Chains A and B, each alone.
Chain A
Amino acid sequence: QVHLVESGGGVVQPGKSLTLSCATSGFRLSNYGMHWVRQAPGKGLEWVALIGYDGYKKSYADSVRGRVTISRDEAKSTVYLQMNRLRVEDTAVYYCAREGGQWAWGQGARVTVSS
């Protein structure tokens, strides 16, 4: 059974850094592109970043480009989202998702950026 479990969320001050992890199981990570999607409080879903199945293709939303890096570790079956120079507007629940005919989603990691 496919599982994605996000971790690493928390409360952080503006300008600081945070790295989210997405531990995967139940499928071969190297066969799939992976995404991060976020949801600010009371708002809709916003795509953040993707990494291709082979780790080479990477793409970022304009709102995070230059501050965020997506990566993957096949040996650990884990996908990461390193976020730097965090802003108050980055406050959201961050979901990890596996693309495919049927996308699979984790339960989310809450990130709060506040002084």
Chain B
Amino acid sequence: DTVLTQSPLSLPVTPGEPASISCMSNESLLHSNEYNYLDWYLQKPGQSPQLLIYLASTRASGVPDRFSGSGSGTDFTLEISRVEAEDVGIYYCMQTLHTPPTFGQGTRLDIK
């Protein structure tokens, strides 16, 4: 199975400051159609995962533009330009190119 490794696993951030989460894959997530099959989710306490970014860099509907995704192949990044209190939770990357789909370990973001 494809292994996704996230870092850091814990991310304390001051409101208004930027934040960045890395997701590295042990195999390429780049399809022949030139899309990278890597998604980012935020899971708030007691809720199901909510899609933030799909195909590595496309924001899902309704997601604030302070969230952005980048990367290709095996190395991906989620960036939050200015963290807000409502951004607390656990962030997961997920790959859907290879079967089975797999997830990173999760990064817990909290407010300093």
Residues of A within 8 A of B (CB): 35, 37, 44-47, 50, 59, 61, 95, 99, 101-108
- The reply to whether the CB of B99 lies closer than 8 angstroms to some CB of chain A is yes
Known contacts being A45-B94, A47-B103, is A106 close to B48, with CB within 8 Å?
A: yes
CB < 8 Å neighbour of B60 from A44, A102, A106: A102
- The reply to whether the CB of B5 lies closer than 8 angstroms to some CB of chain A is no
What are 17 residue pairs bridging A and B, where the CB atoms are less than 8 Å apart in the complex?
A37-B101, A44-B103, A45-B49, A45-B94, A45-B103, A50-B100, A59-B100, A95-B48, A99-B101, A101-B54, A102-B54, A103-B51, A103-B94, A105-B50, A105-B51, A106-B48, A107-B48
Residues of B within 8 A of A105 (CB): 48-51
Residues of A within 8 A of B101 (CB): 35, 37, 47, 50, 99
Q: In residues 44-103 of chain B, which contact A (Cβ within 8 Å)?
A: 47-51, 54-55, 60, 92, 94, 96, 99-103
Closest to B106 in A: A44
Residues of A within 8 A of B105 (CB): 44
Provide the bound-state CA to CA distance between A107 and B49, in Å. Answer: 9
Provide the bound-state CA to CA distance between A71 and B85, in Å. Answer: 41
Closest to B37 in A: A101
Contact in complex: A50, B99 (CB < 8 Å): yes
Q: How far is the CB of A103 from chain B (nearest CB, A)?
A: 6
Q: How far is the CB of A26 from chain B (nearest CB, A)?
A: 13
Contact in complex: A61, B100 (CB < 8 Å): yes
Residues of B within 8 A of A45 (CB): 49, 92, 94, 103, 106
